[in-house]
């Protein structure tokens, strides 16, 4: 009877943890889709203006805003560590302070990124883009400057919501704003013919409407303990907060830019048009599957930070197991679809038979990448929840940029394997990174992580006393 009772208890624990995980992952996935669709809808309307305008919007969205988006999202991800641990430690009053600190850091980062928007045109000309596309891209980027600062405000608010399991509110607001955005694009771009400037203004309005609605919900009394107004405490302990934010940004950006490097390398091949097109089609399909993994990334980071903050190390470890298993199972489904439909998926994007054939050849590599990317973001989420951003940043540099990309260059250019060789090299880097993160997880002492979480809450919460057992933990880890 005892083993049977244990099995029942295990199933109940697994079921309860799955519900906790999906309570965050589900709305985060939908929010990612809704906010991604803001740029997609803009590109769809601009595409009817002309090819140069569509190319300009694609470059600004994919390169300029992609760079800013990644950096600011990474900076804001520091809140996943701190807010999640503070919630379970009963320090709700610190959440508003943490969000305020993150706004200060993200807005300061936006000022640093501002020249990228202002000088988009000359930068693109230095990169040998056509004069016409460079000029149009530069004009569009300058009109999109308000969106840069909107990102800086949005990401900290998102983490504030997620840490308190209010992600569905964020999803509802994002869905409503997407509807308004689509209507405004139709009115301003399609009906009134305001062109690129009109599209940029609509984007600005939509992102700031998103921020304003989320902020009104915060200050309207929905978070009475977590938000008590702006505080001078936000300016205390900024040094440590900045270091964690930078580590989060570096960790995330190294991952986001890794597959961007694939497109850059493939573009350097001889006669790259077909191969770039094939890689782009694969990346588009992969992007949609990655949104699910991103949801689990956020969910596991919150669950781990919550349990560590509450001094429940075994529960934190169990959350990692459930999240990894669930995301990997969903990844297997997407992998099976990629393998079974590797000749049909390309036809969703093109009618060119040669391009369809080349894309189908990459189907096996796409399937392997999708499966790995159903696990790797979850492991990164664990790192964020536990506060290991600096460690994982070094792992990413070593695996991605010292192993993966050099191998990709050797396979693609020296061995003349072209796009297939480049992707194989990149895949090897991802496998290595995933294996190393698994080893780190297996060797993790979760009780020590819970003690360090307590220290982080005390020090960054405004305290200046370090507990004796935390000091001992630091000495042991060294």
The whole-angstrom distance between residue 350's C-alpha and the CA centroid of its chain comes to 28
* pLDDT, position 302: 82
Angle, CA 223 vertex, CA 380 and CA 158 arms, to 5°: 30
Distance CA(171)–CA(128), nearest Å, equals: 40
Domain positions in the chain are 22-236, 265-444
467 Cβ contact list (under 8 Å, min separation 6): 451, 454, 455, 458
| Residue where the block lists tokens 């894309």 | 359
pTM of the model: 0.78
Cβ proximity of 225 and 93 under 8 Å = yes
Largest CA distance in the chain: 77
For residue 310, give the DSSP letter.
Answer: T
- Tell me phi and psi for residue 80, to 5 degrees: -60, -40
Q: Using CA atoms of 240, 245, 246, 250 in order, give the dihedral in degrees to the nearest 10.
A: 140
Tokens 């038979």 sit at which residue? 353
Could you list the pLDDT tens digit for every one of the 478 residues in the chain? 455 544 555 566 888 888 888 888 888 889 888 988 888 888 888 877 877 787 788 778 777 877 888 788 878 777 777 777 777 777 778 888 888 888 988 999 999 999 999 998 898 888 766 788 788 889 999 999 999 999 999 989 988 888 887 888 999 999 999 999 999 999 999 888 888 899 999 999 999 999 999 999 998 888 888 888 777 777 776 777 777 778 777 777 777 777 767 767 776 777 666 777 777 778 777 877 888 888 888 888 888 888 887 888 888 889 889 988 998 999 999 999 989 988 888 887 667 788 788 888 888 998 999 999 888 888 888 887 787 878 888 898 899 999 999 999 999 888 988 888 988 998 999 999 999 999 998 888 888 888 887 776 676 554 443 433 344 444 444 4
For residue 263, what pLDDT is reported? Answer: 67
Cα–Cα dist 67/70, whole Å: 5
The tokens describing 358, both together, are 């080349």
């Amino acid at each position: 009877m005892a083993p049977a009772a244990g099995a029942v208890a295990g199933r109940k624990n697994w079921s309860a943890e799955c519900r906790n995980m999906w309570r965050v992952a589900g709305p985060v996935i939908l929010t990612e889709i809704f906010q991604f669709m803001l740029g997609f809808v803009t590109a769809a309307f601009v595409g009817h203006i002309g090819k140069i305008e569509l190319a300009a919007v694609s470059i600004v969205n994919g390169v300029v805003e992609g760079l800013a988006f990644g950096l600011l999202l990474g900076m804001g991800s520091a809140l996943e560590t701190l807010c999640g641990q503070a919630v379970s430690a009963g320090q709700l009053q610190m959440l508003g302070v943490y969000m305020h600190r993150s706004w200060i850091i993200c807005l300061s980062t936006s000022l640093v990124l501002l020249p990228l928007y202002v000088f988009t045109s000359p930068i693109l000309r230095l990169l040998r883009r056509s004069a016409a596309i460079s000029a149009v891209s530069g004009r569009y980027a300058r009109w999109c400057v308000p969106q840069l600062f909107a990102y800086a405000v949005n990401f900290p608010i998102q983490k504030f919501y997620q840490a308190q399991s209010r992600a569905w509110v964020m999803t509802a607001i994002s869905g409503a704003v997407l509807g308004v955005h689509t209507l405004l694009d139709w009115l301003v771009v399609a009906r009134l013919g305001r062109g690129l400037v009109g599209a940029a203004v609509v984007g600005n309005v939509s992102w700031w409407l998103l921020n304003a609605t989320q902020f009104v919900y915060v200050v309207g009394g929905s978070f009475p303990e977590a938000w008590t107004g702006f505080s001078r405490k936000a300016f205390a302990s900024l040094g440590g907060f900045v270091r964690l934010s930078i580590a989060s940004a570096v960790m995330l950006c190294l991952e986001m830019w890794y597959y961007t490097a694939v497109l850059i390398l493939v573009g350097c091949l001889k006669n790259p048009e077909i191969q770039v097109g094939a890689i782009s089609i694969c990346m588009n399909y992969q992007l949609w599957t990655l949104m699910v993994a991103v949801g689990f990334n956020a969910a596991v980071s919150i669950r781990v930070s919550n349990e560590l903050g509450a001094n429940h190390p075994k529960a934190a470890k169990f959350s990692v197991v459930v999240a990894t298993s669930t995301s990997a199972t969903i990844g297997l489904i997407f992998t099976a679809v990629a393998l079974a439909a590797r000749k049909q998926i390309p036809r969703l994007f093109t009618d060119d038979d040669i391009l369809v054939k080349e894309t189908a050849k990459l189907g096996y590599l796409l399937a392997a990448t999708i499966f790995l990317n159903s696990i790797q973001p979850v492991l990164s989420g664990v790192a964020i929840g536990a506060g290991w951003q600096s460690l994982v940043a070094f792992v990413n540099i070593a695996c991605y940029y010292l192993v993966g990309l050099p191998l990709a260059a050797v396979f693609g250019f020296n061995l003349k394997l072209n796009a297939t060789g480049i992707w194989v090299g990149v895949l090897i880097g991802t496998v290595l990174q995933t294996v190393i993160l698994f080893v780190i997880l297996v060797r993790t002492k979760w009780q020590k992580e819970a003690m360090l979480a307590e220290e982080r809450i005390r020090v960054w919460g405004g305290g200046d006393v370090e507990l004796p057992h935390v000091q001992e933990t630091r000495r042991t880890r060294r």
